[in-house]
Chains A and B, each alone.
Chain A
């Protein structure tokens, strides 16, 4: 199979799509719109067989159907995950019922709204520190990178502090995340080798916490009990890896896409600068339109899905972003309306796997936008759209985004 799966450019998105094609994320909205109208469950032979539903109804149906679809695999790759259901390699995201809720219940309390709210001043301080570091370049009329030097730095710092990991290792975390989420075209052996480095790093941190427990998420996970006993090292490590992987690229992408929108829609930027109380509403609209996360499932049983013959171990992409753009559910779905008040979007998923970090992600996103536009009330992309580098794979957002601040009085 290797020869057919080697990366080749996609010619027809309905029959041969590949979400690792750089054109996919760049043109995602147009591709989904076309597929939704012509072929709402597309199929491709790549990755051993992959399905791509694009309507809200189908995405929702699959998210709720944990019988026919397993979360054992949530990142489409060339090999299949080694760990079996219902636990999987990184509980709870890779877990199915009935185990899933048990693992999820351990992580829900530290991420509940009232535990996350106190982080607000810290996040505000962090954003301002990053903005301070940009002031010199701005004063000299040089571009700043709002994706790599701002959006990216916020979630990595926050999650490292929550886990109680050394902040000097931030670059390393970013590399780990990149390997898992964007290295999807690597051969399975290479992926496993890279993953092994991440596992070893996390085990070393667990040992360090074993020697000196502290008030952080790592020590918390090492102390809680499930079915009357402490969690296995594999479970603790898997959950830590999940928190590292799930929280960084996603939030980075959401902040980056929101700033991209404001850099390219000056009327919206001016409106938010004039009326910051609209920011929380606008953030929900950015989450809807630029939802960064497409999940995946593996087919658990051979079955017919609305006429599509799904086979065990076929991959199914679960594009919550495409569901958010379905005109049957959202009036003017393709328009970005920053004052849209009725917004039942599914950027954080639907059903039992609803993003555990959604309260934290919303806080980081809101504060990041508030502080950025308060400091730089007018800005645009420096250069052309081609100077913006978009991610590859299931998490969609700008990775590099040169910004020129306009007429800033600092």
Chain B
């Protein structure tokens, strides 16, 4: 969990072992996920999710076919 001021931000994580580059997260939440040259996902920055993007983070998680995304709240 990251602390920004007094707000504790949601944190996303991609398990590189499980990710197979289906690219759903990048399509649904490009503000939170990027893809590398091989098409595998990486979280942008330190993975903190601003409150207004929390729903997007959950959407990406719910669409990852490999169960590679986790969220810490």
Contact of B63 among A108, A343, A351, A352 (CB under 8 A): A343
**Cβ contact within 8 Å between B63 and A358:** no
In the complex, A190 has a CB within 8 A of chain B: no
B52 to chain A, nearest CB (A): 18
Q: Is the interface of B mostly helix, strand, loop or mixed?
A: loop
In the complex, A376 has a CB within 8 A of chain B: no
B residues near A350, Cβ cutoff 8 Å: 20, 65-66
29 A-B pairs (CB sep. < 8 Å) = A108-B37, A109-B38, A109-B39, A111-B39, A112-B21, A112-B36, A112-B39, A113-B23, A113-B35, A114-B35, A280-B27, A341-B62, A341-B63, A342-B59, A342-B62, A344-B62, A344-B65, A346-B65, A348-B22, A348-B65, A350-B20, A350-B65, A351-B20, A352-B20, A354-B20, A354-B22, A358-B22, A358-B23, A359-B39
**Cβ contact within 8 Å between B20 and A112:** no
In the complex, A210 has a CB within 8 A of chain B: no
B residues near A343, Cβ cutoff 8 Å: 62-63
Please encode chain B, from 9 to 39, with 1 for each CB lying within 8 Å of some chain A CB and 0 for all others: 0000000000011110011000000011111
B residues near A351, Cβ cutoff 8 Å: 20, 66
Range class of the B interface residue count: 10 to 19
A residues near B36, Cβ cutoff 8 Å: 112
In the complex, A345 has a CB within 8 A of chain B: yes
Known: A108-B21, A354-B21, A358-B22. A341 touches B39 (CB 8 A): no
**Cβ contact within 8 Å between A359 and B59:** no
A88 to chain B, nearest CB (A): 19
B31 to chain A, nearest CB (A): 15
